[in-house]
Amino acid sequence: MPADLDLSPLLVGVGLLVFGLYLNRNAIRERRLTRRLRRITRRADRLFAREDAVAATRLRQDTARLRRRTADAVLPSLAEALLWHADEHGTAGRMRSALAYAEEAAATADRYAERDPGAAVRPNLTLGRMLAVLDDDRAALPRLRQAHAYARLDPDRDPATDIQRVLVAANLSLVLRRAGAVDEAVQLARWAVTVDRGLDHRDLPAFTGAGTAYAHLALALALADAGQDGRAAAEESRQVWQTLIETGAFAEDETDGPAYARYALAYTLRPFDPAAAAAHARAAAVAAERLHARTPARYARLLTQAQALVRSLSAPAGTPPRSPS
């Protein structure tokens, strides 16, 4: 080594680097955890595409580690990972486990909602919808209201964010209507349909058309309970679902949307064409029976209500039942 080579600047630089790493150890750790969550999310995508049992086990292990080690910066990603578990169990009909994951995801989201309200929307929406499916509107309503509040606070105005707002408003409208707040339900559903019509759906994945369908479904049912004509909205919902099925965005019997749309048609047609209403009610019940046969816990409420509508349309003076979520 040359005698005149001064290493002091290098040593100072190394010292500053080490000191900087020490000061920023939490930020570095958060970035590392964020990268890990991204890998988990990609693994979850592959898992639910292939139903890979090994990937499912690894996903559970990774999520358990993140629960113990998580930093604030990765809480949104953790909530998303928990939602994957909720979706996995819900699709399989394991509703108790699905609900537990959804509750944890929503609780996690509430911890970061003040700084990132947009990322807190889906966990609360998922929990609210799951509670409604399980026939617990009383618990679903505050969660859907919370999701709606977060959606209003979200500063993003891109199409993907707006279609999420549409879906939140539609689901809140459905539960409000069953709770007897019909005027508010109509207002929310009209707003959802208006926002949806202003979107360029070419900028959105095809499956987001479900938001369009649910917005019209919610409007149809709310209008009917408000003593107005909801037939056009119900027919729009049915047509959207038909297109989604025909184009392959959803597989036949993969979703309960078509059954809900048939229910809405029957519900709104009752004062105008009882025979057509009865036909649509029977179609809704048949679709609900197929779904229920595969995953009873998930579709028990839908089947019960579809069958009740069939009975009410067969009776000389039946009492209209409540509609599904």
Cα 148 from Cα 93, distance rounded (Å):
27
Closest CA to 127 of 179, 183, 171: 171
pLDDT at 53: 65
pLDDT at 39: 54
Alpha helices in 154-202 (DSSP H): 159-178, 182-197
Q: Classify residue 191 as exposed, middle or buried by CB count within 10 Å of its CB (0-12, 13-18, 19+).
A: middle
Phi, psi values for residue 251, rounded to 5°: -80, 155
pLDDT tens, N- to C-terminus, the chain (325 residues)? 444 444 433 444 434 444 444 444 444 344 555 555 555 555 555 544 445 566 667 777 777 776 766 578 778 878 988 998 899 899 889 999 999 999 999 999 999 999 999 999 999 999 999 999 999 999 999 999 999 999 999 998 899 999 999 999 999 999 999 999 999 999 999 999 999 999 999 888 999 999 999 999 999 999 999 999 999 999 999 999 999 999 999 987 889 999 999 999 999 999 999 999 999 999 999 999 999 999 999 999 999 999 999 999 987 654 555 555 5
Other CB atoms within a 10 A radius of the CB of residue 152 amount to 12
Do 226 and 186 contact (CB within 8 A), yes or no?
yes
DSSP state of 316: T
Alpha helices in 113-136 (DSSP H): 121-133
DSSP state of 270: T
3-state secondary structure of 279: helix
Crossing angle of the two packed helices 296-314 and 274-294, in degrees rounded to 10: 160
Phi, psi values for residue 30, rounded to 5°: -65, -40
CA dihedral of 304, 310, 312, 316, whole degrees rounded to 10 = -160
Q: How many CA atoms lie within 13 A of 66 on its CB side?
A: 31
Rg (CA), the chain: 24
320: alpha, beta or left? (left if phi > 0; alpha if psi -120 to 50):
beta
Other CB atoms within a 10 A radius of the CB of residue 18 amount to 10
Q: Classify residue 244 as exposed, middle or buried by CB count within 10 Å of its CB (0-12, 13-18, 19+).
A: buried
Cα 318 from Cα 315, distance rounded (Å):
5
Cα 317 from Cα 267, distance rounded (Å):
15
pLDDT at 19: 40
Question: What pTM did the predictor assign?
Answer: 0.81
pLDDT at 40: 52
Cα 213 from Cα 264, distance rounded (Å):
11
Q: Which two tokens stand for residue 320?
A: 């209209």
End-to-end CA distance of the chain: 78
